[in-house]
């Protein structure tokens, strides 16, 4: 069995970052909620307790039974996890007299201890807590402090149990990666063998065992996720994979034909289906973002239901769902994380659709998907494509979606994306697109007054889509693209640039 680190989630906004840092060490990990801890097995090499929005003093706070874990597996408590391990076994957790949020510095660190070796006094760490560990049990020993928090880190004598008040998974904890490597590699003895090649091998075997000789229908979009999912499935089941690319009328300009062409020579069996009128009809009159997403998702499923009936004995629907989709749509494995927005390919299928779902990338982040794709020798042109939302331009048109708005936005988007490529900026941006705003503004063209539409341009840098910063594109580039859009796209007289980061904003506007 694949060795793994178990991460127990108490609802922290940083839990997914813990998983990313573990995987960056080539160690597999899974996140499970505190109230649904899986059966512990020999392949679990260690356990991490996450932070939480709760106070350990809150009557409603998570109170997991750790009797099968503490003292039996290497255990690291982070923030809330550290407070829970201290307060539940004889220590005292109280409201902080000085709350610590953001950057802090370690005034003391035990450089000889197995958890903190290699770290330095004065190292910057990231704090996010309103409580503090006032006292610790007698057999708990301090290994890190800040000027304001005496118990910033501790270990338990006679056990491989540790607690830290700061968040090593956040980049602002400058030596956090050292601490995590000490725990994951040296204390948990993980062999760091989880690589893209090993993922491909194990996933292909799992798919073969799961699917057997059944037929699978997969929706292709031309993006990284569905492409990698398709090649993985094709490697596992060959000709039993039937790929379908649906034109929902919400794609980028000329994308339907270019995507179909891009799969030529890859050995995939791909069928193109133009269902744009069905999507437009379903979106007519809808303005609420969630209703639009659900309408797009329903038609998406309906089209696949129709197409699946044309493939004799098809039993599975393949999807390119990835970890951020799951995390943002539903609580991880039924856990306490906050739902942000629904995704069209997450949440299961309606009862009338007699297909089971297979999602080979469900536990991967976007950058991990790309590395797996490279291992599969997928063309760089496909792997390097910016992410594009499943609902397409439907969630980049604020308000009701119409064919005319789609046409206008396709032209704007094309000028923006092609401009990024022309100026060598495309690969410096993680995701970019244009948003059709539900406002009109006064302008002047020639000697005439205009009252036309406004658009916003959006470009962000990110690693996995969970967080993102707006890109500082050159003013000269933005000026050039704005001029092109206003001059070449009839119906637009104003262009804005979105300088919001995620959080607090999301990457898409809807």
What are the catalytic residues?
79, 167, 169
What is the gyration radius of the CA atoms in the chain, in angstroms? 25
What are the angstrom distances between the C-alpha of 351 and each of 194, 427, 448, 472? 36, 42, 57, 47
- Evaluated on CA atoms 172, 168, 326, 285, the torsion sign reads negative
Spell out the SS3 assignment of 217-285.
Answer: EEEECCCHHHHHHHHHHHHHHHHHEEEEEEECCCCCCCHHHHHHHHCCCCCCCEEEEECHHHHHHHHCC
DSSP E strands, 278-331 = 314-318
Question: CA–CA separation, 216 vs 239, rounded Å?
Answer: 9
Q: What is the DSSP letter of 167?
A: -
Write b or e for each residue in 239-261: b if 16 or more Cβ atoms lie within 10 A of its Cβ, otherwise e. ebbbbbbbbbbbbbbebbeebbe
Q: How far apart are the first and last CA of the chain?
A: 41
Q: How many CB atoms lie within 10 A of CB 498?
A: 18
d(C-alpha 389, C-alpha 272), whole Å = 19
């Amino acid at each position: 069995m694949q060795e793994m680190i178990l991460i127990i989630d108490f609802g922290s906004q940083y839990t997914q970052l813990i998983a990313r840092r573990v995987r960056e060490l080539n160690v597999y990990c899974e996140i499970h909620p505190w109230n649904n801890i899986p059966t512990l097995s020999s392949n679990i090499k260690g356990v991490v307790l996450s932070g939480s929005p709760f106070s350990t003093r809150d009557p409603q706070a998570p109170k997991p039974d750790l009797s099968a874990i503490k003292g039996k597996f290497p255990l690291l408590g982070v923030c809330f996890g550290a407070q829970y391990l201290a307060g539940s076994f004889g220590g005292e957790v109280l409201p902080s007299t000085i709350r610590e949020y953001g950057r802090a510095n370690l005034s003391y660190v035990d450089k000889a201890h197995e958890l903190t070796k290699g770290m330095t006094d004065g190292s910057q760490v990231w704090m996010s807590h309103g409580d503090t560990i006032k006292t610790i049990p007698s057999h708990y020993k301090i290994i890190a402090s800040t000027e304001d928090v005496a118990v910033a880190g501790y270990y338990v004598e006679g056990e491989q149990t540790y607690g830290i008040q700061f968040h090593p998974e956040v980049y602002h904890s400058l030596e956090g990666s050292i601490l995590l490597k000490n725990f994951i590699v040296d204390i948990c003895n993980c062999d760091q063998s989880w690589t893209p090649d090993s993922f491909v091998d194990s996933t292909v075997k799992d798919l073969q065992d799961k699917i057997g000789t059944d037929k699978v229908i997969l929706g292709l979009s031309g993006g990284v996720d569905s492409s990698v999912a398709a090649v993985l499935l094709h490697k596992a089941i060959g000709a039993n994979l039937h790929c379908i690319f649906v034109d929902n009328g919400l794609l980028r300009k000329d994308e339907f034909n270019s995507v179909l062409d891009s799969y030529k020579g890859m050995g995939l069996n791909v069928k193109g289906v133009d269902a744009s009128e069905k999507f437009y009809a379903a979106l007519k009159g809808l303005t609420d973002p969630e209703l639009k997403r659900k309408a797009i998702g329903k038609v998406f499923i309906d089209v696949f239901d129709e197409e699946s009936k044309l493939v004799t004995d098809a039993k599975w629907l393949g999807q390119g769902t990835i970890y951020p989709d799951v995390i943002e749509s539903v609580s991880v494995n039924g856990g306490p994380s906050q739902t942000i927005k629904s995704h069209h390919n997450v949440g299961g299928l309606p009862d009338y659709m007699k297909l089971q779902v297979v999602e080979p990338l469900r536990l991967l982040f976007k950058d991990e998907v790309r590395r797996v794709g490279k291992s599969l020798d997928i063309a760089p042109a496909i792997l390097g494509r910016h992410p594009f939302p499943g609902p397409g331009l439907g969630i980049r048109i604020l308000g009701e979606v119409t064919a005319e708005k789609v046409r206008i936005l396709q032209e704007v988007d094309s000028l923006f994306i092609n401009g990024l490529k022309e100026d060598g900026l495309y690969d410096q941006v993680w995701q970019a697109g244009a948003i059709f705003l539900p406002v009109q503004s006064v302008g002047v063209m020639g000697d005439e007054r205009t009252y036309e539409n406004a658009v916003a341009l959006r470009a962000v840098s990110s690693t996995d889509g969970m967080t993102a910063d707006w890109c500082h594109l050159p003013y000269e580039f933005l000026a050039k693209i704005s001029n092109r859009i206003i001059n070449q796209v009839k119906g637009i007289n104003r262009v804005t640039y979105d300088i919001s980061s995620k959080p607090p904003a999301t990457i898409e506007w809807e």
